[in-house]
Amino acid sequence: MKVTGIALRTPPGAKDNPEVTPELLASCLAKYSRSNKGLDTILASIDWSDPDRSVDSIFKFVDYGHASITGMTGGIAIAIDGLSMFLAYKIFEIAQLCDGQESSTRYIRLDRTSLPQAQDIGIPPSLEKEWQELMEVSFDMYHTVYQKLDNAAQKDPSLIALPQGTDQKIVDRMRRNYALDRARYLIPFATRTNAAYIMTARVWAETVRQLDSLPVAEARECAKLIRAELEKFVPRMVKHSFPTEASQAQASSMLSYAVETIKNSGAGIQNIKNEVFVSVDDHMPSFLEPMQSFQDAFRGKVNRYSLTGTAVNRIMVRAAWNNMAIAELRDLNRHRSGFRISPLVPAGFYLPREVCQESVLPLLQKHKALTEKLASESDGSSFYYALLLGTQTPFEHSTHLDKFIYEIELRTGLGAHFRYAEHLRDACNKLLNLRPQLKPYIDIGDAEPEF
C-alpha cells in the first residue's frame, strides 16, 4: 500500500495572489473572523520569516474545543494505491463529508494479481491456503462469466440495446461495459484498488482516528501511512488523529454485531428478493410552517442539478434496502449528504439473470464456509476479506428529500448501472406511495446505455 499527499501549485492566473500553507490558511481565516479590518491587514500581520508563530497562536484554540478552525485548511488530497476494496469502502463510510473516487470495475478488468497477501490483511495462518485458493477461483469464474457475456453480446448486439448505426468504438466499449457490469459480482472484496480522497484537516483527523480504531490490520497500517502524509500538510492536527475510548468502542460494537449475526444465522448465499423501506418526516414547527407548495419548490427545474425550494429541502427521508450487493454499495455509499450505514453482514448473494446460478453455486458454498470460519477466528474481523462484490447486505441512507430525488434521478439516468436503477426505482415507487404529489417532479430514467 502506498499513500501520497498531493500538494497544489498556484495556477498562472493566480500568480500574484497570496500563497499560504493549509494551516496558515486556517490561521488567517480564524483571525479574519475576529476582525473587521480585512484580509490584507491579516496577511500583513504575519511574520513571513516565522509563519509558524502565527499558526501556533491560533491553533492552540483547537485544543480548547474550537475544531471549526481546522475545517478551514482547504481540501487536502491524498491518493492511496493498493488498498483493498473493503478498506476503500470503509474510508468512504467513515468520511461522509469527503470528495473522492475509486478505480472502476466498469472500465478495469481485474485478475488474481490484484489480490493482497493473506498475512497483510490478517487472514489466520491456518486458513491462508483456503482463502488464497478461493479468491483465485473467484477470479477465474469472473473471467469465465465475462467472456461468455462478451461473446453473447458480439453474437447478439441487441443485448446492449444500441441504435443501428452506432460507431463501432462505442459498440465495443458498451459491450465490455455490459459484460463487466454483470461479471463483477464475482470479484473478491479483498481485491486491491486505488482511491483518492479530498478532505479538510478536521475530517482527515477524524477519519484517521476511526481507521486506527478498527480491529483490522490493514486499516491500522493505512492510518499510520496517512498520518505520515498529513504531517507534511497539517502537522498540528496529527495529534488529534489517534484512537479514543469512544472511537474504539463504536468500532468494536459494529464488528461484534456483524460477527454475532454470522455466528447465529450463517453467511447467506441465496439471492434475496428486493425489500425497500422509505420513511418521510415532513413535520414542521408551528412557528415556521411551510412557506411554499411543491409546485413552487420545483419551479424552473430542468434536471437533477436545478435548485429546489424549501418545501422540499426541509423534508427528511430515510431509505433502506435489505439486499444491497457490495458492488452497488461501493458507489451508493459515496453520496455525501446525510448518513449512510451498513453492517456488511452477508445476508445473501446477488447474480444477474444472465449469469448461470447453478455453475456458480459450488463456489458460493465454499465462500459461505470460509466466511463463517473467519468470523469464528479471534475477533472475526478477517471475514470481510472473504466476501465478494455480489454479497448482499442491508444498507440505509438518511438524507433530505431534495438530495434523495437527486440520487434517484442520477442512479436511474443516462448510463446508470442496471442494478442501481432497480434499487432506486423501488425506493422512488415507495416514496411516491407516501407522497404521490411528488410524481410530476421526479424524472425517473430507464438507465439507457451511455454513448
C-alpha cell of residue 359: 455453475
In this structure, what DSSP letter does residue 374 have? H
Angle at 156 between CA 152 and CA 158, to 5 degrees: 120
d(CA 323, CA 262): 16
Q: Which residues pair with 4 in a beta bridge?
A: 79
Q: Which helix (H) or strand (E) holds 40?
A: helix 39-44
In whole angstroms, give the CA distance from residue 125 to residue 351. Answer: 31
The 10s digit of each residue's pLDDT in 63-110 is 444 456 666 677 899 999 999 999 999 999 999 889 999 988 877 888
CA dihedral sign, ordered 294, 297, 302, 304: negative
Residue 57's H or E segment, with its range, is helix 51-59
User: Is it the case that residue 58 has pLDDT exceeding 80?
Assistant: no
Decide the pairing of beta strands 76-84 and 391-400: unpaired
Q: How far apart are CA 132 and CA 190, in angstroms?
A: 11
Whether residue 241 is predicted with pLDDT greater than 90 in this model: the reply is: yes
Distance of CA 361 to the CA centre of its chain: 29
Query: What is the reported pLDDT for 159?
Result: 86
pLDDT of residue 72: 67
Q: How confident is the model at residue 160 (pLDDT cuts 50, 70, 90)?
A: confident
CATH architecture entry for 259-441: 2-Layer Sandwich (3.30)
Domain ranges in the chain? 2-80+192-243, 259-441
User: Model pTM?
Assistant: 0.91
SS3 206: helix
Which candidate, 192, 195, 155, places its Cα nearest to that of 175? Answer: 155
* Confidence bin at 448 (pLDDT 50/70/90): low
- Assess contact for 3 and 223: CB atoms under 8 A: no
Residue 57 confidence (pLDDT) above 70: no
Mean pLDDT, range 194-215, rounded to an integer: 94
Q: What is residue 172's predicted lDDT score, i.e. its pLDDT?
A: 83
Nearest C-alpha neighbor of 411 from the set 290, 339, 321: 321
Are the CB atoms for 58 and 69 separated by under 8 Å?
Answer: yes
The H-assigned helical ranges of 284-392 are 294-297, 310-313, 326-332, 357-375
Q: What angle do CA 95, 423, 164 make, to 5 degrees?
A: 110
Q: Regarding beta strands 391-400 and 348-349, do their DSSP bridges make them parallel or antiparallel, or are they unpaired?
A: antiparallel
More reliable by pLDDT, 336 or 10? 10
For residue 388, the SS3 value is strand
The single-letter DSSP state of residue 291 is -
Question: Any idea what DSSP says for residue 242?
Answer: S
Express each pLDDT in 104-154 by its tens digit. 887 788 899 999 999 999 999 999 999 999 999 999 999 999 999 999 998
- Find how far residue 111's CA is from the centre of its chain: 22
Picking from 224, 193, 155, the residue whose alpha carbon sits closest to that of residue 79 is 193
Nearest to residue 76, comparing CAs of 54, 58, 100, 96?
A: 100
185-to-225, 260, 392 alpha-carbon distances in Å = 30, 25, 10
Mean pLDDT taken over the chain: 90
Residue 95: partners with Cβ closer than 8 Å, 6 or more residues away: 197, 199, 203, 204, 206, 207
C-alpha cell at 235: 502537522
What is the rounded average pLDDT of the residues 285-297?
94
User: Of 7, 358, 31, 436, whose CA–CA distance to 198 is shortest?
Assistant: 7
What is the per-residue pLDDT across 377-428, written as a single tens digit (0 to 9) for each?
989 999 999 999 999 999 999 999 999 999 999 999 877 889 989 999 999 9
